[in-house]
Amino acid sequence: MTDEQAGPVRVGLIGYGFSGKTFHAPLIASVAGLELRAVSSSDAHKVQADFPGMTVHADPHALIAAEDIDLVVIATPNETHAPLARAAIAAGKHVVIDKPFTLDLDEARGLIALAEDRDVLLSVFHNRRWDSDFLTVRAAIDAGIVGNVTHFESHFDRFRPDVRDRWRERSGPGSGVWYDLGPHLVDQALLLFGLPDTVQASIATQRPGAMTDDWAHVVLSYGERRVILQASMLVAGGVDRFTVHGTAGSMTKHCADRQEAQLLSGMRPGDANWGEDPDPLVIHAADGQREQRALPGDQRHYYRGIAAAVREAAKNPVAPIEALAVMAVVEAAFLSANTGTTTALALTDRERDAAARALSSATVQI
């Protein structure tokens, strides 16, 4: 049976909060080969305001059980990722989980084993692989513009001094800035440099009234190379998104990718200027300073890859072993911060080898 005869991959989205509404639904709706068939949400009016006539299930398990759903996308609070994914995989559905993959390595390993047993696709939504800022910096590193990288700094900083009443900022499993933004920072670092030797972290709660962590500083060591990952909710004015120093010079990328801001403004993926980034890469070398135009970003590539992978026409755009490696670093950072020690990744030799191979061969279309 051809892909045309098979028809589009029929998608059910669980969760229509910030991530589901802002990212998943519009990206899925914009990709040929995918059809958003149903949404699970407690607010049917909110969903149908964006997608008139959309089937809305109040109970996520009703969506999972629906016979006309091939792929279940989970965009719910972090502590629900693993149980919902287990239910969907057990029902024979392909599954995409919003980051973080799970709350810990054991949950992630269990899902991987179950997906392999049921022979279904399991993937994690590491959409920031297709951001303009990261694509631009990665291409420059690959081109050897700064030589051998000795210092890499990646910031996901915001200025939100007022604590908001939402699950990400309440005390509880899976809340806090490191679970929220850390997986993005870690995934990008692993794509560039592979698995680190050790992790050293400091994680804090800084804002008055904050109930969970809102500041994280994590250092990944690769021999003498240092990779610094920083996330904060108290940075006004912003700092460089990326700073890279190497044996042949340095470079900075100041502004972050614009796709989230574009989506929030009402722009749809594929509209004119979608993913365009006017902020250049600034390169400092022995012969002076120059600017290089930023590459455009396009997070649709993730879901294009999912559509192809479900039809077995391409590999999974984010393989489970890659997401497991991200979780190993996230977990190591929490352990380091809690114990005040430098920590190694809690991966088996087999997992380490598989992750290293997957990360070294991971491709990011542009």
Residue 31's domain comprises 3-125
CATH of the domain at 15: 3.40.50.720
- Which residue, of 71, 97, 125, is where some domain finishes? 125
Angle among Cα 144, 150, 153 to the nearest 5 degrees reads 95
Q: 1 pLDDT exceeds 80?
A: no
**2: confidence class by pLDDT, cuts 50, 70, 90:** very low
Residue 364 pLDDT: 67
pLDDT at 301 over 70: yes
Q: What is the mean pLDDT of residues 278-293?
A: 96
Using CA atoms, how far apart are residues 17 and 260, in angstroms rounded to an integer?
A: 14
Residue 206 falls in which region: left (phi positive, over 0), alpha (psi -120 to 50) or beta: alpha
Q: pLDDT tens digit string along 255-278?
A: 999 999 999 999 999 999 999 999
DSSP alpha helix (H) spans, 1-58:
3-6, 18-19, 25-30, 44-50
What is the distance between the alpha carbons of residues 315 and 317, in angstroms, rounded to a whole number?
A: 6
User: Is residue 316 assigned to a domain?
Assistant: no
pLDDT at position 313 is 81
Q: What is the DSSP letter of 15?
A: -
CB 242 within 8 A of CB 253: yes
* Residue 39 counted as domain residue: yes
pLDDT of residue 169: 87
Distance CA 299, CA 130 (A): 5
Which of 90, 125, 160 is the C-terminal boundary of a domain? 125
Is the pLDDT at 60 greater than 50? The verdict is yes
> Which CATH number do you get for residue 354?
3.30.360.10
Tokens of 82: 């693993």
- Both 116 and 189 in one domain: the answer is no
- Over range 151-160, report the average pLDDT: 96
Q: Which two tokens stand for residue 317?
A: 């755009």
pTM for this entry: 0.95
Same domain, 161 and 245: yes
Is 116 inside a domain boundary? yes
User: For a pLDDT cut of 90, what percent of the chain falls above it?
Assistant: 92
pLDDT for the residue 328: 98
Which of the listed residues 76, 101, 125 is the one where a domain comes to its end? 125
Co-location of 163 and 219 in the same domain: yes
11, pLDDT greater than 80: yes
Least confident of 26-35, 52-61, 168-177: 168-177
pLDDT band at 4 (very low <50, low <70, confident <90, very high): very low
Q: Do residues 39 and 185 both lie within one domain?
A: no
The pLDDT of residue 167 is 85
Q: What is the pLDDT of residue 133?
A: 98
Mean pLDDT check: name the lowest of 133-137, 162-166, 224-228: 162-166
Q: Residue 312: what pLDDT?
A: 86
Number of domain units in the chain:
2
Task: Check residue 174 and give left, alpha or beta (phi > 0: left; psi -120 to 50: alpha).
Answer: left
pLDDT tens-digit map of 101-136: 999 999 999 999 999 999 999 999 999 999 999 999
Domain membership of residue 233 (yes or no) is yes
CA distance 101 to 89: 14
Instruction: Kindly indicate the confidence band of residue 3, based on its pLDDT and cuts at 50, 70 and 90.
Output: very low
Percent of the residues in the chain that have a pLDDT greater than 70, as a whole number: 97
